[in-house]
Amino acid sequence: RCLARPEAFPSQVASQLRHGDLLFACEPLDLALPLDRAIREVGTYTIEWLAARGAKPSGDETAEHVGLVVADASGHATSVIEAVRLLGVRNLALEGFFAEFVAGTRFFRGRLEGVTTEQCQKAVAYASRRVGGNYASSYAPPSSLATTPWTQEFYCSSIVDYAYRDALEQDLVFTNEPFPLMFQPREFWEEYYRSQGLEVPSGFGSNPTLLMHSPRVKCVELDLNAPEPVEETHEMF
């Protein structure tokens, strides 16, 4: 991650996004590499976990990252709120978000079904108040004891998850039961975290693939080569 894409950012992509959309990145994985194989295996286990509970995933894509789209008052997507390792929670210009990923990365727009415009606005407002907070390396849920929103910690899927939990006033949004954090194959992840002086995270949480294949999310792959749209505005506020 974080290798610059060589091609220029396609400005027309903004017309395919709305305030509060989920923006997924699926990087090309080299299954000859142990880390990439492990990432794929976590994605596969996640999809199988959802399918065992009645979900019908439409594909087998493994998402490595997810952020929350921010649009201006005219409905034009301008930036993405994301939680990034070492950098924490930030609001990054849309062009900058796409530039973070290697060539060949596929991007998907996820739209949570059954939510109102006002709820999308509330979710984005929740995430916006957390900008500046630290990354949750332990994958722990945000602390309810934090004295200010930006002192809470989030990882990439948890900032999206908790933003919509707050907006919908629900304990769970993307699943019907808590999702146990999965790190498979276990031996690889134990060594991976041991090399960083850490233990493998445990407990309940989320990951980008879980949100991408949630029964409540409708995903569409973004066409980075779509023609420039006819000028049109959509009032959002």
Average pLDDT over residues 5-30: 81
Q: What is the pLDDT of residues 175-214, one digit of tens each?
A: 999 999 999 999 999 999 999 898 999 999 999 999 999 9
The C-alpha atoms of residue 109 and residue 212 are separated, in whole angstroms, by 9
> Mean pLDDT, the chain, as a whole number?
90
Is 6's pLDDT higher than 80?
no
pLDDT attached to residue 11: 66
Give me the pLDDT at residue 226, please: 66
How many other C-beta atoms lie within 10 A of the C-beta of residue 125?
A: 13
Q: Which of 38, 72, 17 is nearest to 187 (CA)?
A: 38
Q: Maximum CA pair distance of the chain? A: 53
Q: Is the pLDDT of residue 170 over 80?
A: yes
* Residues in a beta bridge with 80: 69, 92
pTM: 0.89
Residue 220 β-bridge partners? 109
* Residues above pLDDT 90, as percent of the chain: 78
User: Is residue 4's pLDDT more than 50?
Assistant: no
pLDDT digits (tens, 9 = 90+) for 131-146: 999 999 889 999 988 8
pLDDT of residue 173 exceeding 50: yes
pLDDT confidence of residue 228: 60
Q: Are 80 and 95 in contact (CB under 8 A)?
A: no
Structure tokens at 80: 């993405």
Q: Does pLDDT of 172 surpass 90?
A: yes
